[in-house]
Structure 1
Amino acid sequence: MRTNSFHTVAPGTYREDGGLEYEDFVPDEVVEHRPGRTITMTDNVWSSLLCLNQHPLHIDAVYAERTGFGRIVVSSLVTFGIVNGMTVATISAKGVANLGWDKVRLSAPVFVGDTLYARTRILAKRESRTRPDEGIVTVHTTGLNQDGVTVIAFDRTILVPRRKEDR
């Protein structure tokens, strides 16, 4: 995978420039996103309330203790947001637009204290039919907890710029 992570701004001075351009995406290659992210109660409560998801399983410890989970379960929107966010620095930092998420699957609960990691496989890419300076890339992202258990998986389609010298 070819990347242009730094650009020279002066002799001996470089600027970080994260993200991939269309030509950098190679189908079937995999990116492991690091660092991981440990989920806190603050993450869960703030996000749950911000999104108006007031289900007691996410914000009421007494209620959650009486469920089959036996404790508070992190909202799936928190899990989705953090795992998707972990991919941005590489997958979509140069993106023009997110075109959509598909096949979102939640396969295991996430609890406060779990640490999440993300892995993205490049599924496909094609040049845009209407925007010659851009291409469309589809990726599959998997979120795993500290034990390697998949907790979420989804496909995402992104509109990304093409490298000027490759057009």
Structure 2
Amino acid sequence: MVDTDSSDADDEDASVQDDANSRQLVSGWQGRYYEDFDVGDIYKHPYGRTVTETDNVWFTNVSMNLNPMHFNEAYAAETEFGERLVDGTYVIALAVGMSVIDVSQNATANLGYDDIRHHAPVFHGDTIFAESEVVDKRESESRDHVGIVTTELRAYNQHDELVLSLERTPMVLKREHAQPSAATPPGWIEGVGTQPEDLD
């Protein structure tokens, strides 16, 4: 049996230990830029969201929606649905919000919401899931730093029933103009929090 020199192994272990103790800024998810979109891509947005009675009542009050279907249980009980419905504009806001992480985290503006359809009612306790399909993209004719992306947003309940669909069209930053970094990710201003020089 041949003895091996353990010094090389010790040096390797020390190197691993040094790496394990080093601190560095690491980039997280920075959202998609215009170049990242391809027509036909479908993004299933992370997390489902269960709609509560509080969501519905608060949103109905804040938006001054006076239809009793949303806040009058006795009235709603006598309708074909037998209970209150979740405000449809809340369902739109929820689905759009769920899509931001994949579609418009780096948008400079939303140009439009089109062809909005409520396919099925949403009730308290339903869990909503959303996905977006890229249906079109083009360069902006008036702004060099953005492109225009159109997606079809679809929302489903826990029974896989389509409850909402719509098209949304944001202007999305091009990567070269955003210059994302681990030190200044989307939504942060320069100089806040841990900086590279803090790690020296």
TM-score if structure 1 supplies the norm length? Answer: 0.90
The yes-or-no answer on 1:97 pairing with 2:97 is: no
Give the structure 1 partner of residue 32 of structure 2: 20
5+ long unaligned stretches in structure 1: 1-9
Which structure's CA Rg is the greater one?
Answer: 2
Taking the aligned partners of 2:151 and 2:118, their CA distance within structure 1 comes to 17
Secondary structure of the residue aligned to 1:164 is helix
> Residues 18 and 90 of structure 1 are in contact (CA less than 8 Å); yes or no, is this contact kept in structure 2?
no
- Answering whether residue 100 of structure 2 is matched by residue 88 of structure 1, we say yes
2:78 is the counterpart of 1:56: no
Which residue number corresponds to residue 88 of structure 2?
A: 76
Deviation at 1:12, TM superposition (A): 3.0
Pairing 1:120–2:132 present: yes
SS at match of 1:13: coil
How far off its partner does 1:11 sit? 5.3
Distance 2:129 2:135 in 1: 19
The amino acid of 2:51's aligned partner reads I
SS in 1 for 2:107: coil
Identity of aligned residues (%): 37
> What amino acid maps onto 2:157 in structure 1?
N
| Residue in 2 that maps onto 1:130 | 142
Equivalent residue, structure 2, for 1:163: 175
Aligned to 2:41: 29
Q: 1:14: how far off?
A: 1.7
> How many Å apart are 1:163 and its aligned residue?
1.7
CA–CA distance in 1 between the matches of 2:76 and 2:150? 37
Moved over 4 A (4+): none
| TM-align CA RMSD | 1.4
Please, which runs of 5 or more residues in structure 2 have no aligned partner? 1-21, 178-200
Which secondary structure does the structure 2 equivalent of 1:23 belong to? helix
Aligned length: 156
CA apart distance, 1:162: 1.0
In the alignment, the residues of structure 1 paired with residue 99 and residue 82 of structure 2 have an alpha-carbon distance, to the nearest angstrom, of: 31
8 Å contact from structure 1 (residues 105, 152) kept in 2: yes
List per-residue Cα deviations over 1:76-108 (Å, max 9, x = no partner). 011101011000111101101000100000010
